[in-house]
Amino acid sequence: MRVFAAVALTASTLCAQAPATSAQGKVDFASDVLPFLESKCFSCHGEPKRDAKGKLKEPKGGLRLDGKDWILRGGDGEDAVVAGELEESGIYRRVALPEDDPDFMPSKGEHLTADERDTLKRWIEEGASFGSWTGAAVPKGAPKAASRPTIPKLQSPYHSLVQKLESSAPKLSPRAITKAAGDSAQITAIAPRSKLLRVEFRASEQQTDDKRLAKLKTVAGNVTQLNLARTAVTDKGLAALTKMPRLTRLDLHETGITDRGIQHLKRLRELRSLNLYGTDVTDEALATVAQLPSLETLYVWQTKITARGLAELEQRNPKLRVVSKPVWPAAPQVERDQGRRRRRR
């Protein structure tokens, strides 16, 4: 079992989406995302600048956001944006943290609004396309980006997995999907013409309870990604998940779920990613987790799970990737080198 330091937030989409019920159009980077990045992020993550004393100030964390190629290079120790992967996209992870979290960004100035965070989220989920925008170019001969720890891609076997799940998934009519979505759920296909669905409850989390979850029973056989983060779903309500045999990603972060609720997950033979960040689960839940044959990633930051419990889980499943704490940005290499030169003088 490999334990990684990264902030766990939401279950991420594996592919660009084909909206089934949302009236929102696809996010355009240049018109929808760039304006708030420019006004709220470029001051710390733009081109290097000299201060009043002539000292060169490098972008914080080695990350520049003022050009497509700079964004794709990422910062020191992490990727800035990974298409379709919220959990691997450092930009989104940080802006979505609680404002009192030391990793929250932007650390200075005006914060992103809820609508701006949602726009950034949807842009990444939809594939993080920059369109025709390129922004500032990376100069020829520029040093390579700092190396990042190798993290196994959650979707490495994804295409074959989708083919397997698609082959046996029942066909659904658009009307059935619309009815299941109601006025609070967003239900989208994970890829154009796919029968597999992603379900979330943006902006209606606190109104989403066990009864609302139970109303997904008509599409349960097609749900492969389910985001219940910050909802009012209880342990008892998770019994509805036993009817979702094709569920591969489940996000329960910051819910009232306990060890008792986790027991309902035993039948989820295809589950690859489980997010328990900010819940009251303890080591007792790990007994169930260890029985999930396909689980690849487990998020347990800010839970009651102990180091001893994780050590025992490692013995039972050494290949499981566990995310148990936040990542702290490394100081830019340029600044460290300059500091050594000053000391030698």
pLDDT in tens, 7-41: 333 333 333 333 333 345 789 999 999 999 999 99
Distances (CA, A) of 288 to 233, 234, 284, 326: 19, 17, 8, 24
Domain, as residue range, for 72: 23-137+329-338
* Residues 321 and 175 grouped into a single domain: yes
* Residues 114 and 211 grouped into a single domain: no
| DSSP for 228-282, written as a single string | -TT----TGGGGGGGG-TT--EEE-TTS---HHHHGGGGG-TT--EEE-TTS---
| Rounded distance between C-alpha atoms, residue 335 and residue 263, angstroms | 49
18-19 and 186-189 beta bridge pairing: antiparallel
* Residues 75 and 112 grouped into a single domain: yes
- Residue 125 included in any domain: yes
* Residues 164 and 267 grouped into a single domain: yes
pLDDT in tens, 197-243: 999 998 899 999 999 999 999 999 999 999 999 999 999 999 999 99
Whole-model pTM? 0.56
User: What residues form DSSP beta bridges with 199?
Assistant: 187, 226
- Residue 259 included in any domain: yes
pLDDT in tens, 282-324: 999 999 999 999 999 999 999 999 999 999 999 999 999 998 8
* Residues 173 and 305 grouped into a single domain: yes
Task: Write b or e for each residue in 23-41: b if 16 or more Cβ atoms lie within 10 A of its Cβ, otherwise e.
Answer: eeeebebeebbbebbeebb
| DSSP for 291-324, written as a single string | T-TT--EEE-TTSS--HHHHHHHHHH-TT-EEEE
- Residue 4 included in any domain: no
How many domains in the chain?
2
Under the banding of pLDDT at 50, 70 and 90, the label for residue 162 is confident
273-275 and 297-299 beta bridge pairing: parallel
